[in-house]
Amino acid sequence: MADELDLLKNLGRELVDPDEEGVRRSRELLRQRIDLARRDATEATAQGDRAVTARWPKLRWSLAIGSLMLLVGSALGFGLGSSLTPSGSAGVTFVGFGFLPEKNWNVMQSGTLDEAGKARAIAANVPIDLRDGLGGTPPLATLRSLPARGVLIFATFSPRGDPNEDDDYPARRSPLRLQHAERLAATNEASPLRRLSRYRLLAGIRGYNVDARIYFGEREPSSQALAAADSQLGRLAVAADRVTIRVQPTIVSSRGPTVSGSVSSGRAGEDVKIQAKDCGLDFFRVVGGAVTEEGGGWSTWYWQQQITTTLRAVWNDETSAEVLVRKRAGVYLVKRSAGRIQVRAWTRSAWRKRVFIQRFDPRLGTWRAVKTVVLTESEGGTALATFTVSLPKGTRVRAFLPRSQAGPCYLDGTSNTLTT
């Protein structure tokens, strides 16, 4: 326990001093989490679950650390991955997404983009339910118990660059205001949230799309509730990397991915270079480019994806984060004459690799290997082999090249399906 306290003290030295109200809220969150974990452990003991009971000391420590991290987002107003500044000031070092500190407001926020290119934040003038997280859906547990005076804002951030999405997000400047939000129709009468009023505000800010959903605890919010929501919207901050990149998908087969992103200037006509570093190499090279649209978004298609590659964007000598795009091995089946089948594989070292020929079992709904073929022929840089397989007419077959055979720079690959 002494080591745990020392770690908490060391972490505390790296934070700015919270005010008295912030400390009180943080202590309450810590108490709630430990009580919740203790209740789970008690229930597990009653059910005879010794494994869960044995994990209680580690669980307690994990919850303590989790509560300390939530302190960053509740008492001080920032999420993980953000810098800490005094209340009311974003500061020159602030990087991230979310709500600036404000007394009597609780905040939970990620602060950085996840693998899907999204960041999220929750702000409420009531305690945030511990069952809610930062997933893609609104914090339903908190909303179900939102009192009449309650206000909750759920915001999602994503880089601009997809023209189909960007058109829905009009360019705006900070601070955001409730007067620009659209009031949504009442929810279904059977919904537990039917008593709430809802607003939605879409905005393109500094190269990012912001989707802010504002909830009030009653159908006709009071002037005080509306003013509180407007004030908190004005504290919504977008201060991220100067140039971003988003790649979809990050695992590719036959064609390359769509590459998009944004620049912080928000201006149109800015040149962005796309750089790539192929698997096995230690340097980046320019492989493409794009020009930003109004709002700072840009988009292109990386057609040269032939191997697992790391991509990044460069704008005005600023470099984005790097994204690893993994390539699946290319495998293809072709029918030949006299019942013969040819299998072809595209990787940098597919020659003499083993490919598994599989048949589909409709009874079990699974694929089962029936033959192994070695790629001993070569044609135009493609490794191939021709084989026969004895199977009932109408059987579906395919080829599978496992990762162990595809090589270090490829994922496993599955071919098209043929019918015998």
Stated pTM of the model: 0.56
Residue 4's SS3 state is helix
pLDDT, residue 195, reads 86
Q: Do 103 and 156 sit in the same domain of this protein?
A: yes
pLDDT, residue 5, reads 33
Rg (CA), the chain: 27
> Does an H or E element contain 62, and which?
helix 56-74
* Pairing, β 243-248 against β 119-124: unpaired
Number of domains in the chain: 4
Owning domain of residue 105: 77-240
Q: Do 212 and 83 sit in the same domain of this protein?
A: yes
The CB density around residue 109, as the number of other CB atoms within 10 Å, is 27
Alpha carbon distance 384, 338 (integer Å): 18
Q: Do 186 and 98 sit in the same domain of this protein?
A: yes
Q: What CATH number is given to the structural domain containing 236?
A: 3.40.1000
Q: Of 289, 308, 327, which residue sits at a domain end?
A: 327
Q: What count of Cα atoms within 13 Å lies in the side-chain half-sphere of residue 196?
A: 25
pLDDT, residue 375, reads 93
pLDDT, residue 409, reads 93
Query: Among residues 242, 230, 229, 255, which one has the least CA distance to residue 125?
Result: 229
Q: Do 127 and 262 sit in the same domain of this protein?
A: no
Q: Do 261 and 404 sit in the same domain of this protein?
A: no
Alpha carbon distance 361, 201 (integer Å): 51
Q: Do 298 and 349 sit in the same domain of this protein?
A: no
36 phi/psi in degrees, rounded to 5: -65, -45
Q: What CATH number is given to the structural domain containing 251?
A: 2.60.40.10
The pair of structure tokens assigned to 296 is 């700072």
Burial of 275 (C-beta count, 10 Å sphere; 0-12/13-18/19+):
buried
Degrees to nearest 5, angle at CA 42 with 39 and 43: 90
Q: From first to last of the 420 residues of the chain, give the pLDDT tens digit.
A: 343 334 333 333 333 344 455 545 555 555 555 555 555 545 544 444 444 334 444 444 444 434 333 433 433 333 333 322 233 333 323 346 788 878 889 999 887 777 777 889 999 999 999 889 888 888 999 999 999 999 999 999 988 887 778 889 998 888 999 999 999 987 776 676 888 999 999 998 877 899 999 999 999 999 999 999 999 999 988 766 788 888 888 899 877 888 988 888 888 999 999 999 999 999 999 999 999 988 888 999 887 788 999 999 999 999 988 999 999 999 999 998 877 899 999 888 888 999 999 999 999 999 999 999 999 988 877 899 999 988 888 899 999 999 999 988 999 999 999 998
